[in-house]
Amino acid sequence: MQDYNELMQRFKQYKNIVNKYNRFYCDSVILDKLEKNKRILARQLASGDLIYRGRIFNLDDKVSTWVQYQEWLNSDDRIFLGYDKKESGAPPIGLAKEGRLNGNGISFLYACDKIDTVIYELRPTVKEVVSVATLKVLRNCELADLTLFDNRDVGDRVFIDLIKLISKEFSTPHFAGHNYAFTQYLAGQFMNMDFDGVIFRSSLDKYGRNYVFFDPDCCEAIDSRLYKVTDIAINAIPIGRRDV
């Protein structure tokens, strides 16, 4: 691949084949480019680092009376005010729903670098309550950081453009009718490259990053807190046909 136009054409063809024809298709040129430069992508998370994970919280699942409700919300000695350690982690293998990076039944751990990003990613409605858990990384992990070239351009130009294309795939919201086949396929390639997970830009919080761990046991929840959504802000601009 010599330039961006050639890369874009090849990447689009690659995506189309994986999405529509062959889930196991291998474009050796693109994969070789990733493999050759994988050390550049490596981001180290150390044992003890903290990240965040959330779930929409339904207190009715926990209490049945008003007194219990008040006691739960006003407890000062409970470490897990929201969901407990187990409930704050990834879903069990076999029960996990299909996600952006994982197939149906495959359990990956999705987390974020900030509490605000966690709440954005859950797409809550006003007055919904979110349980946000603090997760501790249990061992040194090496993740593929797809945000690496957001603000700088160094090294192999084609490789940088390739990473930006992949990062866009991971960060773009999936609308009705779209599927996760290509992003799941790409996640599999990073797993085959011996990464422990992937970091990519949040599609809902432009200042936040998502962390996905291929092994959910890389982290454990150490506490959880409840947050009530009080407002949702949306900014929109008119677009023309060429912008869609």
Q: What is residue 150's predicted lDDT score, i.e. its pLDDT?
A: 64
Q: What is residue 185's predicted lDDT score, i.e. its pLDDT?
A: 92
Residue 71 contacts residue 62 (beta carbons within 8 Å): no
Query: In the predicted model, what is the mean pLDDT of residues 23-40?
Result: 84
Residue with more model confidence, 172 or 41: 41
Residue 202 has pLDDT above 70, yes or no: yes
Residue with more model confidence, 217 or 78: 217
Residue with more model confidence, 75 or 41: 41
Residue 170 has pLDDT above 70, yes or no: yes
Enter the pTM of the model.
Answer: 0.87
Tokens of 193: 């490259």
Residue 87, C-beta contacts closer than 8 angstroms, at least 6 positions apart: 55
Strands (E), 108-239: 109-112, 129-137, 141-145, 197-201, 209-213, 219-228
The CA angle 15-166-202, to the nearest 5 degrees, is 125
Residue 111, C-beta contacts closer than 8 angstroms, at least 6 positions apart: 51, 52, 53, 118, 135, 210, 211, 212, 213, 219
User: Any idea which residue has 């006691």 for tokens?
Assistant: 71
Domain extent listing, the chain: 29-229
DSSP string, 176-187: TT--SHHHHHHH
Query: In the predicted model, what is the mean pLDDT of residues 52-76?
Result: 82
Q: What is residue 1's predicted lDDT score, i.e. its pLDDT?
A: 60
**Strand pairing report for 141-145 and 197-201:** parallel
Residue 96, C-beta contacts closer than 8 angstroms, at least 6 positions apart: 90, 102, 104, 105, 106, 107, 108
Q: What is the rounded distance in angstroms from the CA atom of residue 242 to the CA atom of residue 244?
A: 6
Query: In the predicted model, what is the mean pLDDT of residues 27-32?
Result: 83
Residue 131 has pLDDT above 60, yes or no: yes
Residue 37 has pLDDT above 90, yes or no: no
Q: What is residue 187's predicted lDDT score, i.e. its pLDDT?
A: 94
- Could you read off the pLDDT of 98-121 as tens digits, one per residue? 888 998 999 999 999 999 999 999
Query: In the predicted model, what is the mean pLDDT of residues 75-99?
Result: 88
Q: What is residue 121's predicted lDDT score, i.e. its pLDDT?
A: 93
Sheet containing 42-45: give its strands across.
42-45, 141-145, 197-201, 209-213, 109-112, 50-57, 129-137, 219-228
Query: In the predicted model, what is the mean pLDDT of residues 165-189?
Result: 83
The H or E element containing residue 159 is helix 157-171
Q: What is the mean pLDDT of the chain?
A: 87
Q: What is the rounded distance in angstroms from the CA atom of residue 103 to the CA atom of residue 185?
A: 9
Handedness of CA 11, 190, 111, 183 (dihedral sign): positive
